[in-house]
Structure 1
Amino acid sequence: MNGEQPRDVEPDEDATFVRPFIITGGRSEPLQADLRLETLVVAVGVPDPSLTFERRHIVAVCEQPTTVAEVAHRVGVPLGVAKVLISDLVVAGQLACRQPAELPLPMLERIRDHVRAL
């Protein structure tokens, strides 16, 4: 053997993949039911140093007001996972959210494109 893997065996590409239910602690429903794709979330104050990696990443992404759909896309998690994590952070006082009255067409198109990319 020369150290190469046989051609019919693919390397374990997702060895670092973490299942979504692990990230959310097994929960599939957010604590806040009113989070929509277009809900804007923004970080409040300094992030808690005890936050997990994904939650810290979300707070960093939300330094500027960002939609829930954009957060999911930028953090690289499914939309349902993003909603659970965002609602946890809102309850913990790390994020604030607001529902925009009406979204401009370019933002709606961006949200649509990001959801399709998920």
Structure 2
Amino acid sequence: MNADDDLVRPFVLTGGRTRPRQEGLRIETQLHATPAALAAPLRFESRRIVELCQAPKSLADLSAALRAPLAVVRILVADLVADGHLLVDEPLTDVTPALMRRIRDRVRAL
């Protein structure tokens, strides 16, 4: 048996899809599982994502923990959000590029 025998191709995990059902999930998006998610009939990686999201986790954290490409995890997470198993923790404010420039300029002024 070689290392490739253990590899599951990404298209198998996503059912052949290359785009998430829900757009707007950024790499830093914080997610947490709903209370009923652990009892849901989920498969493999989706079950693991729900287990990991008992405490808030980002897409990047999930990708690293699953050792799966970010694009694949984004698709799986979007499915779980659409099905009501994961909730997105919305940031209190949107950080716009203009706000980032103002912060940068003020830090430089110090």
* Superposition TM-score, scaled by structure 2 size: 0.77
Of 45, 69, 75, the residue aligned with 1:78 is: 69
Q: Distance in 2 between matches of 1:89 and 1:65?
A: 14
Q: Distance in 1 between matches of 2:52 and 2:94?
A: 23
Answer yes or no: is 1:37 the counterpart of 2:27. Answer: yes
Contact 1:30/1:84 (8 A) holds in 2: yes
Superposed CA offset, 1:55-78 (max 9, x none)? 000001110111111111111110
Q: Percent identity?
A: 38
SS at match of 1:29: coil
Following superposition, the deviation at residue 14 of structure 1 comes to: 2.0
**Runs of 5+ unmatched residues, structure 2:** 96-110
| Alignment correspondent of 2:7 | 17
Superposed CA offset, 1:4-48 (max 9, x none)? xxxxxxx52221211000000000111111100111000001324
2:6 corresponds to which letter in structure 1? T
Runs of 4+ residues over 6 Å off in structure 1:
none
Following superposition, the deviation at residue 102 of structure 1 comes to: 6.8
SS at match of 1:81: helix
Which structure features the higher share of helix residues? 2
Q: Distance in 1 between matches of 2:20 and 2:90?
A: 16
* Superposition TM-score, scaled by structure 1 size: 0.72
